[in-house]
Amino acid sequence: MKPSAAVIAMALGALLLGGCAQYDSKRGVEVNWQDTVTTQLVNGQSTRRDVLALLGPPSQVIALDGESALYYLFERSQGKGLILLVYNRMQIDTRYDRAIFFFDQDDVLTEFATRLYPSDEG
């Protein structure tokens, strides 16, 4: 028995209605804290002005009882999805590139740390 044209059309329609999705979301400040940049900063010598000149305005400024911290954050979400109508699946991975710089009361850099995911090192 051969399937009718209507059945073939339905099956084909179901196949054609399936799809996939992909998206990339980026939020935050521009990533400027690559190792090549932060090697120019020295604890006890560099100042807040140096950090701001190198990295630009931060995501957040935190006051710490006379001292202060600059926080830089770049948030990247990557999603991929399979849409088959009957079964749909979305996977979203979010990673945080970040850097934090601590300054004493004289605005001199005391400590800093950075984290950069390889795909954002560009």
Partner 1 sequence: MKVSALKVFCAALTCCLLSACTQWHYDLGAPLDNVALPPENTSLAEALQLLGPPLRMSATDHGFVLAWEHWNIREQSLGFSLGAMGADFLSADWGDMRVKGDFLLLTFNEHRLLTSATRSTWDNDGGGGQSIQPFFNFVSVVDADDLTESMPQHHWGSYLLQSLPGTLNESSSLDSGRGGLQQRGTPSAVGQQSLRMD
Chain residues binding partner 1 by CB under 8 A are 1, 3-4, 7, 10-11, 14, 27-28, 43, 59-65, 69, 71, 73, 75, 85-96, 98-100, 102, 110-115
Closest distance between partner 1 and the C-beta of residue 50, in Å?
18
Length of the chain: 122
Adjacency order of strands within the sheet including 67-83: 19-28, 67-83, 60-64
27 or 53: CB nearest partner 1: 27
Distance between CA atoms of 18 and 76, rounded to whole angstroms?
A: 27
Closest distance between partner 1 and the C-beta of residue 106, in Å?
16
Q: Are the C-beta atoms of 41 and 54 separated by less than 8 Å?
A: yes
47 or 59: CB nearest partner 1: 59
14 or 42: CB nearest partner 1: 14
Q: Which of 69, 61, 73 is nearest to 29 (CA)?
A: 73
